[in-house]
Amino acid sequence: MSDNDELAVIDGIKPNVYLQDGVEQDVKSASRRVSSILQGSSTYKVKRTWDHYYCTCPAWRNQGGVPVNARSCKHLKSLLGEKYEEARMKLKNPDGPPPSKGKAPASKTKPASKAKSTAGKKRKKGDDDDDDDGDHAEEAQEEKLKTKKMRGVPAPRSKGKAVVKEPDDHEEIKDEQKHEDEGMEGVKSSDELAEINGIKPNVYLEDGAEREVSSMSSSSTYKVKRTWDHYYCTCPAWRNQCCKPNFDNLQQGGVPINARSCKHLKSLLGEKYEEARMKFKNPDGPPAKGKPVSKAKAKKLKKAEDDDNEEEDDEDAGKGEGAPALLLANKWDLEKGADPTGWWISEKLDGVRTFYDGKRMISRLGNPFTPPQWLLDKLPTDVTLDGELFSGRGEFQSTVSIVKTVNSPHWKGITFQIFDIPSRGTSPFEDRVSFLKELFGPEGSHACAEVVLVEHEKAKDRQHVLDKLKEIESLGGEGLMLRKPGSLYEGHRSASLLKIKTFYDAEARVTGYVSGKGRLAGMTGALKCEMESGKKFNVGTGFSDKQRKNPPKIGSIITYRFQELTRDGVPRFPSYIGEPVDKDEPKDAEIPEHRKPGAKSALAAE
């Protein structure tokens, strides 16, 4: 359970069952009468998606006037707990009614005829009662089913319930869109892809939902999936639209990941919707044609598309011709590092290192980022800046996803944290900071909320640094940086800049999987990995359920974190961090001799 998860604990109340983002669970309806008549079980799917939960029951779907992240139903209360749901509703919709009343929204359907007004009244009464799942309406349906069964009339499909007749693909799409339309009013305010310029998709997919689409020209079947603010398809046409944005002409450098389309997406979502989405996501780009580039070019573009992770141990690895000359840090040992008294302390941010050249933002390897123009317009054009794109502690993977996309609304949650100004690199560090304050300080010429100066404080002694490290780590931060007083900006690795972390990070190659057991049955329990040294070990923590269902591929490189090595020279309690985008070989951590296994006993023997 993550400390950074706002739904983990609300006002001191924890859910009965904790669901991570993307995790789903089946919940059975308490109404057994309808189930027995339909000869099937009324089971609904509850899923956690980002900052809210959804349920497939009618009561949840039909709350059109309620924000998506402030909807509840009796299945959510049963699974998560009533007190927790009350606290969540208060957090997400403080001005709304408490969920304890359990009122379901009024039905949008009208009685078929006046002769059926009695059944209609039953449905209305059911909507106003405590049962927020609409089970009273189902009782009216039950009577109807009994009558039709006696007459030999086939039973109709029940919304979201057991299916009497299996529909074909066309009916399925129509039914899914019908359900989407019923709840769309509440979705619009929080889901940018629910409707674009008044155009809705033929099939609405929530974040994490996927669907198979058959090829119209062959027997192949491709998978379409919604991921955050974009869709992807497993077809070659979608995959090969690799993105290396050309800032002079975005039309000639591939397509951003959230602005790609293909004929399968157009078939599923609708051509007009896809045209509107392309225009929204990539206004300066051409309309999506889904035409793949050659395999050789796709491979080259894919390599360029892969961006940097924050670690800089091999600063020359993979650098492009346009890579900026950045000041890179050495490591400071907690026990035997140089005396830090008088050095400047700042937090080591868990963001994406970014160089601004007065016109654009690029990574430390020279790959361009895709910030919105409104962010670039807030920066001066006559200086260069060194900093990090940052969306919060522990949000590194989200930050990486955002900086790779064009026109994503999530850029609004990104800040450009500036810690240096290379264009004034010949001035002492203190003078450079003073100049940055003139630009971005509270009274600065370019002061704005999206650009933040990283705070520095002078170290009193070693213990001050260690105490500060403990404080930052307790807040979920990654570590500290130390800058030498009076130092210049050097465009290479230098002892004037030091980084401090309690944990060590390293890279390993995935060689296999260990099957999960118990709650993790059917998922990946651990990754089998091989170090640079050739030693083998398993990584079994640090994964979300979503990652366990779709783990890194065999042969891929992962970053893991650990505190120390065992006597066998393998990491003790390693934790999965992610897949670094700028590494293609395993790399063991650099551990000082006195912190290696057996070092303490050897020193004691002396």
Cα–Cα distance measured from residue 27 to residue 160, given in angstroms and rounded to the nearest whole number: 13
312: Cβ contacts below 8 Å, ≥ 6 apart:
328, 329, 353, 364, 493
For residue 349, which of 202, 480, 207 has the smallest C-alpha distance? 480
Nearest to 538 by CA among 505, 510, 579: 510
Mention every residue, 6+ apart, whose C-beta is less than 8 A from residue 114: none
User: What's the gap between Cα 115 and its chain centre?
Assistant: 52
What does the block give as tokens for 539? 């990584």
d(CA 541, CA 24): 20
Per the structure block, which two tokens stand in for 441?
Answer: 């300080």
Q: What is the DSSP string of 285-327?
A: SPPP------HHHHHHHHHHH----S--TTTTTT--TT-----
Whether 18 contacts 9, CB under 8 Å: no
Q: Which residue pairs, CB below 8 angstroms and at least 24 apart, start in 54-61?
A: 54/206, 55/27, 56/160, 57/29, 57/133, 57/134, 57/160, 58/104, 58/133, 58/134, 58/137, 58/159, 58/160, 59/104, 59/105, 59/132, 59/133, 59/134, 60/183, 61/160, 61/179, 61/182, 61/183
Annotated catalytic residue: which of 348, 404, 484, 583?
Answer: 348
Instruction: Name the maximum alpha-carbon separation found in the chain.
Output: 99
Give the C-alpha distances (Å, rounded to integers) separating 55 from 78, 124, 394: 12, 21, 28
Calpha distance 414→376 (Å, rounded)? 13
348 is known as an active-site residue: yes
User: Which residue type is seen at 5?
Assistant: D
Number of H helices, E strands in the chain: 17, 21
DSSP 358-425: SS-EE-TTSPBP---HHHHTTS-SSS-EEEEEE--TT-HHHHHHHHTSSS-GGGGG-EEEEEE-GGGT
State how far the Cα of 276 lies from the Cα of 194, in Å rounded to an integer. 12
Ramachandran bin of 84, using left for φ above 0, alpha for ψ from -120 to 50, beta for the remaining angles? alpha
- C-alpha to C-alpha distance for 514 and 539, rounded to whole angstroms: 9
CA angle, 395 then 397 then 398, to 5°: 65
**Three-state secondary structure call for residue 238:** helix
Of 367, 227, 371, 233, residue with least CA distance to 300 = 367
Extract long-range pairs of 215-220: CB within 8 Å, 24+ residues apart.
215/264, 216/263, 216/267
Report CA torsion sign: 119, 123, 129, 130: positive
Positions annotated as catalytic residues are: 348
